[in-house]
């Protein structure tokens, strides 16, 4: 249902519509996750987190250390297209710089 159609509906009628009918659906969100490996330098991961995910240096260090210790870590949560772009940016940057760094996305 379009906004115009909704605006033409009487307020009392609108109250009777379900969320589904007025399409107030929230977009699906995706976690972008960085995976640990034994070869990518810590400093490189921190730089990448600052560049691709707009993290501050202390936040980037924290995420990098968490990935290093836990095996994986969330860099951010985004809508589909943005999450796909972030994964691509990480994958391309790591490939260019010849590091085995891997990045995946997972539906929230």
Residues that bind ligand TYC (CB under 6 A): 34-38, 40-42, 45, 64, 67-68, 101
Structure tokens at 51: 């560049």
Residue written as token pair 């990045």: 103
54: left (phi over 0), alpha (psi -120 to 50) or beta: left
Least distance to ligand TYC, CB of residue 84, Å: 19
Of 64 and 87, CB closest to ligand TYC: 64
Closest distance to ligand TYC from the beta carbon of 91 (Å): 12
State which residue, 28 or 100, has the beta carbon closest to ligand TYC: 100
Closer CB to ligand TYC, 37 or 84, in the complex: 37
Q: How far apart are CA 105 and CA 34, in angstroms?
A: 9
Nearest approach, Cβ of 5 to ligand TYC (angstroms)? 48
Helices 42-53 and 80-96, axial angle in degrees (round to 10): 140
């Amino acid at each position: 249902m379009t906004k115009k159609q909704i605006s033409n509906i009487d307020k009392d009628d609108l109250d009777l519509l379900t969320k589904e009918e007025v399409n107030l659906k929230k977009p699906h969100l995706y976690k972008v996750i960085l995976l640990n490996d034994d070869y990518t330098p810590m400093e490189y991961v921190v730089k990448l987190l600052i560049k691709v995910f707009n993290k501050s240096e202390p936040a980037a260090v924290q995420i990098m250390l968490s990935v290093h210790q836990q095996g994986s870590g969330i860099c951010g949560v985004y809508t589909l297209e943005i999450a796909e772009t972030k994964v691509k940016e990480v994958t391309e940057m790591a490939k260019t710089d010849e590091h085995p760094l891997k990045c995946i996305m997972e539906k929230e």
